[in-house]
Amino acid sequence: MRLALGVEYDGSQFHGWQFQPKQRTVQGELQKAVSLVANAQTEVFAAGRTDTGVHALNQVVHFDTEAVREERNWLLGLNSNLPHDVCVKWVNPVSEDFNARFSAIKRRYRYLILNRDSRSSVHHQRMWWVYKPLDEHKMQQAANSLLGQHDFSAFRAQECQAKSPIKTLDKLIVTRRDDCIAVDVEARSFLHHMVRNLMGVLVPIGEGKRPVDWAWQVLQSQNRNMAGVTAPPQGLYLTDVIYPDEFSLPTVSGFPVLW
């Protein structure tokens, strides 16, 4: 039997998603919980890896098991064995041809910026604090030039293992609400650190340190050294993973209050 899970986690105290010996990881904690409920050692597979400090609102995971449980019992059992900063939001049986990673057709991320003079004591591990005023309109103009299929080598981490730097960016939308800025990004797949490196270009443009066309110049250079810094991980959220309708996975709001 193959089950899919919708998983939410606060990445602040994790060394990323992927299991690492002697490190606290999301995959490690989830595998322990699944193995306890299934009464057998079980490996779980995710739609995508997240780095240290990065959060997820709707990470999708699958695993195979011979254990027979009601969906509600899986949900309650898993959450009772997970730490406070990880929870399972839904459990859904899927066909054997479902794969959390390879069946996905879209992945969505949101990057949150706190744009005000004073830092936040509450959101310091949830948003990137940028105290200089940001012009979200200029950021959007720059973002528009990055849409579509391109070689994103300039936004790729050195340790990226992707076979090709060619990616298609479907959405890159900048929205402000009071002193908060959200940048929503959508693509089928991403390079390592790609979203955080995009932010490292858009923010200097918003600050007025760089012209709007700098984003296009960086993209065309295909040179990581030409781009800006890698934005900090705490502002980044994996908000959703989209699959073909045939799998009938639940839809759960990632930001029911904020946006």
- Residues known to be catalytic: 51
209 is written with which tokens? 């340190």
- Cβ-in-10-Å burial (0-12, 13-18, 19+) of 61 comes to buried
DSSP for 27-48?
Answer: HHHHHHHHHHHHTS----EESS
Which residues make up each annotated binding site for substrate? 109
- Rounded to an integer, what distance in angstroms lies between the CA atom of residue 115 and that of residue 17? 28
- Rounded to an integer, what distance in angstroms lies between the CA atom of residue 30 and that of residue 207? 40
- Rounded to an integer, what distance in angstroms lies between the CA atom of residue 175 and that of residue 248? 30
Which residues make up each annotated binding site? 109
Radius of gyration of the chain (CA): 19
Q: What is the DSSP pairing of strand 106-114 with strand 236-242?
A: antiparallel
